[in-house]
Amino acid sequence: MLDLAIIGGGPAGLTAGLYATRGGLKNVTMFEMGMPGGQITGSSEIENYPGQGNVMSGMELMQNWPEQAMKFGLNHEMNQVTNVTKDGDVFTVETADGNKQEAKAVLLATGSVPRRAGFKGEDEFFGRGISTCATCDGFFYKGKEVAVVGGGDSALEEAVYLSKICSKVYLVHRRDTYRAAPSTIEHMKAAQNIEEVTSVDVEEVYGDAMGVTGLKVKSKENGEIRDLPTPGVFVFVGRDVLNDPLKQEDGSFLCDTNEQGEIIVDLKMKTNVPGLYAAGDVRIDAAKQVVCAAGDGATAAVDIIEYVG
Ligand code: NAP
């Protein structure tokens, strides 16, 4: 029987693992199907993690976290959790290989995945010219023109990153104001080779057997269509939470969620089900920052230690 099953190995899961094991819990397993580190490892530039003054990549920021947590006894199981159920006081955590493990407490720290924007050609060309990771795929477009879709922090930060690799970046946004932080907007505006293409909808991304060859955008003001002949389109239009493990056979969730499927927790990261916690981007009102996810993980672990007793 596990004291604690942590689902997800990003900043929230790793910090919970560190605090839980260092705080005395035995048999703490973190289920993470990929490399621990989380979605932030796909970010190219971090400059707002406290105490880390230099701009660094997400990969650099996260590189020491797993080792630190494992030093205190956190186990990492490279497996996907498909389902969590509760019977009496005991949780059962089922993984993709059909194995079942029992746990006294469960922390969901699964985060979120990039949302699709829903334009024509998006599914067809996903992975063949359409990407949601500039750090991963930006290099393929060295010296070429690309388009970035979105107007939040992710879109603007990644547009700035791509502007250093690519000859030109079209920043395609459906409004003429941005959601991103003022300093990020400033960085974007300072880049000489970013052209803002605002108040437009993406009509279509088109291409051939080799992949994307361009996109068409339609002005919301006068309906004019503009053709942007770029071989790369990066989409950053928000994220959807990963709550699948909590789905029950009848389609309900093991605990309360809001309309977006985000897990409802209190200030201790407790759900309405005793012993079940959620931390990081998967929970309601998440600030979606590494430092906040880490804080959530620590907060949850402190309470879980008390709960498990
Ligand atoms: P976001 O803030 O939700 O922004 C999504 C952007 O995509 C918005 O500009 C939105 O337009 C646009 N959009 C949404 N659906 C669309 C569609 N179907 N077609 C075209 N455009 C669409 O998402 P995010 O940038 O991924 O950021 C998520 C969270 O992480 C935010 O809280 C952000 O502050 C945080 N974050 C922080 C940092 C940092 O602090 N360094 C870095 C990255 C992300 P509208 O504006 O018109 O709605």
Whole-number pLDDT of residue 136: 81
Which atom of ligand 1 lies at the shortest distance from residue 239's CA?
Answer: 26
Q: What distance in angstroms lies between residue 31's CA and the mean position of ligand 1's atoms?
A: 28
**What is the whole-number distance in angstroms between the Cα of residue 179 and the centre of ligand 1?**
7
State in Å: Cα 130 to ligand 1 middle. Answer: 17
Ligand 1 atom 30, closest CA: 288
Pair 104, 20: CB distance under 8 Å: no
Element (H, E) at 308: helix 290-308
Catalytic residues, by residue number, are 133, 136-137
- Written as six digits, the tokens of 195 are 């052209």
Per-residue confidence of the chain (309 residues) as pLDDT tens digits?
Answer: 999 999 999 999 999 999 999 999 999 999 999 999 998 998 877 888 999 988 899 999 999 999 999 999 999 999 999 999 999 999 999 999 999 999 999 999 999 999 999 999 999 999 899 999 898 889 999 999 999 999 999 999 999 999 999 999 999 999 999 999 999 999 999 999 999 999 999 999 999 999 999 999 999 999 999 999 999 999 999 999 999 999 999 999 999 999 999 999 999 999 999 999 999 999 999 998 999 999 999 999 999 999 999
In the sheet where 211-219 sits, what is the strand order? Answer: 200-208, 211-219, 225-228
27 neighbors 126 (Cβ within 8 angstroms): no
Q: Which atom of ligand 1 is nearest to the CA of 177?
A: 46
Residue nearest to atom 38 of ligand 1 (CA): 153
pTM beyond 0.95 = no
Pocket of ligand 1 (CB under 6 A): 48, 117-118, 149-155, 157, 174-175, 179, 236-239, 288-289
Provide the pLDDT for residue 97. 96
CA of 100 relative to ligand 1 center, distance in Å: 37
Write the DSSP symbol of residue 257.
B
Q: State residue 48's pLDDT score.
A: 87
What's the pLDDT score for residue 202? 98
Specify whether the CB–CB gap between 32 and 9 falls below 8 A: yes
Which atom of ligand 1 has the smallest separation from the CA of 114? Answer: 26
